[in-house]
Amino acid sequence: MASTTVRDTVLGSVVFSHSAVDDCVLLKSDGWPTYHLASVVDDVTMKISDVIRGQEWLASAPKHALVYAGLGVQRLPRFTHLPLLLGADRRKLSKRRGDASVRSARDALAVSPEALLNFVAFLGWTPPTAAAHSAPGEGNAEDDVLSVAELAEQFALTGVHRSNAVVDRRRLDWMQGRHVRRALQAAWTPGGQGASGQGAGGQGAGGDAAAVPPGVSAAKVASETMIAAVSVLDSHERADTPLELGALLQPLLFAPDLTAVAAMPAAGGSAAVNALATAEARVAAWNEDAAPLLQLLLAEWEALPEAAFSLSAALPGAAEVMAGRGCAAAEGGSAPQAMAAVKATVKAFAKAAASDAAPDGQVPAAGSSAGEARKAKRKKLPASRLMLPLRWALTGQSVGPALGDVVGLLGREACLARLRAALQAAA
């Protein structure tokens, strides 16, 4: 039986039996050509080398091949039929169902052009450098984050997949987050628009004055502080949009306004939202032992050197940040000595409370029912009795990245300043 073979870049040689190819109108009665004739004539006239379209047009390929032959064309264009775009329900997207415009992604979702182009490029295509995923376009490998120049260099039609592509909003969010981080690192690299002698290195991550040793670039410390802050944040929580990342980075780079809670009723807009969040965090973190524990810890930390508050060497940018403070990054976890002091403070406070010798008269008189109850309770005082209020004091939040990383990022002077401010705000 007669057949027509269409050679496709993605699908290979596709054979169509003529019995399955229906007759179609090429020229209407009013003299106007239909798409099947007009598109072929246009391709021949324009000397089109590649016809790239969706797989829903595959059924028209044998008709067009026959028209080419009828017009005496010896060399057909190279056909490439791309996989279809599916929604999360695995149904085909269309103009009437599940569509999303570039404008809506840019304005409503705040997606950057680079992230959107990167995302769309991976819908049905994988570059040769990308890690293998369980299915095309799935998984969140760092190799998938490519710039426009990298996409242009690596893209080839031979990398297009046969299977349809699912438009996954979660993957778009993830890709946007990675591009945001790239942009931040580029902006804070010395020579970039965010680097200056007045950056985070000149003032310290916590906003407290911190001297930069001679011969150390303040701009370099600023850039590495930003990179380290993003790394600390990534260890705890994903942030995808610039607004999300900015909100989560703020307490790591700038001291929280713990006094804003008192002015909350009069505040408006974002100030009211921030004050409410700070107040809710304090409610979640504060306890009856918080103030005396923080006071004891402040005394312990004041006796420690800067090196006790060092960032982990495993975090990107840590070495440069610590060089800006005049000491080395820590091997293992961040701020090992400072965090050891936290645990020692809890144990000392519990021991003193159990023997009715807690500082500042925080334990009721021996023999009273309230005193005995609190003694029994404090014999096994959990570390969270100090950890939670300490996190609130340092960041104004009740949850966040590992506390040791936060302490290491802030450094000694910022930690002490924030502790003093928290005790004053709680008084």
Tens of pLDDT along 39-54?
999 999 999 999 999 9
The CATH architecture to which 3-82 belongs is: 3-Layer(aba) Sandwich (3.40)
pLDDT at 219: 54
Task: List, by residue range, all CATH 1.10.1160.10 domains of the chain.
Answer: 86-178
Task: List, by residue range, all CATH 3.40.50.620 domains of the chain.
Answer: 3-82
Which carries the bigger pLDDT value, residue 286 or residue 130?
Answer: 286
pLDDT at 187: 60
pLDDT reading at 170 higher than 90:
no
pLDDT at 196: 38
Which carries the bigger pLDDT value, residue 13 or residue 359?
Answer: 13
Domain 86-178 top-level CATH class:
mainly alpha
Structure tokens at 30: 């009013």
pLDDT at 304: 95
| pLDDT tens profile 189-201 | 544 444 433 333 3
Distances, alpha carbon 282 to alpha carbons 156, 178, 356, 361, 399, in Å: 55, 32, 28, 23, 11
